[in-house]
Amino acid sequence: MPLQQSRPPLPSADKRWKLVNATMRRNGYAGHALIETLHSVQDAFGFLDETSLRFVAASLDLPLSKVFGVATFYHIFMLKPKGRHACVVCTGTACYIKGAGALLEGIQERYGVDPGDTTEDDRLSVLTARCVGACGLAPAVVLDGSMIGKQTSDTLIAQLEELD
């Protein structure tokens, strides 16, 4: 009979670790729950840091290299913290045809950040997405989780300016 692996202790008293642990428990600590678990880490903490990757690897009894491999393979997982606000510009085909490029240029011109980067004051992260499925509203932007459609560079910058 294989030895029952002892689970590692939670990295800190932070309650969010309990959420992560709950996801793993629900899946019986099976290795195939890795992606689900990483999703729940990112939902709770906003990004994946080394502590969380080590904790997940030890809990699911997976090599750290494999966990790191999965975390870096999928675009959705972030290894760096995001700024206070996230602006995701859709670059799907419909948005591309209708001028998503101009939105990104406008942001670059105003804030000097490229997709994937965060402004120096940690105020705004700029990201791109491969089609958010709102092609009827092209070009679409997801600003802090809510979708805003039919944007121009001017209307988008105006909304970004209003963020605190």
Partner 1 sequence: MHLEDLADKAAEFRAEEAAVEQEIRVCVAASCQSSGSVEVLAALRQAHPDGDQSCKVKGVGCMGLCSAGPLVAVADKGGELVDSILYRDVTPDDAPDIMGSVRGAPVERLRCPTEQPFFSRQHRIVLENSGIVDPVSFKGYVVAGGYAALLQAIIELTPAEVLHEVTTSGLRGRGGGGYPTGLKWSTVAKMPSGQKYVICNADEGDPGAFMDRAVLESDPHRVLEGMAIAAYAVGANKGFIYVRAEYPLAVERLRTAIRKAKRGGLLGSKIADTEFSFEIEVRLGAGAFVCGEETALMASIEGLRGQPRPRPPYPAESGLWGCPTLINNVETLANIPPIIREGGDWFASIGTERSKGTKVFALAGKIHNTGLIEVPMGTSLRDIIQVIGGGIPEAKAFKAVQTGGPSGGCIPERHLDIPVDYDSLKTLGTMMGSGGMIVMDETSSMVDVARYFMEFCMTESCGKCVPCRAGTQQMYGLLDRVARSQATRADLSLLEELCEVVQATSLCGLGQTAPNPVLSTLRYFRHEYEERLADASARASASRSHQDE
* Shortest distance (Å) from residue 139 CB to partner 1: 11
- Tell me the three state secondary structure of residue 88: strand
Taking the complex as a whole, the smallest distance from the CB of residue 51 to partner 1 amounts, in Å, to: 20
Of 47 and 74, CB closest to partner 1: 74
Measured distance CA(79)–CA(72) in Å, rounded? 8
Q: Determine, following the binding rule CB under 8 A, whether residue 133 of this chain makes contact with partner 1.
A: yes
Give the x-and-dash track for 107-126 against partner 1 (CB under 8 A). --------------------
Stretch 61-100: interaction string toward partner 1, x if CB under 8 A = --------xx--xxxxx-------------xxxx-xxx--
Helix H segments across 11-146? 16-26, 34-45, 50-59, 64-73, 93-97, 100-111
Would you say 134 and 127 are in contact if contact means Cβ atoms under 8 Å apart?
A: no
Q: Quick one: tokens of 53?
A: 């990757």
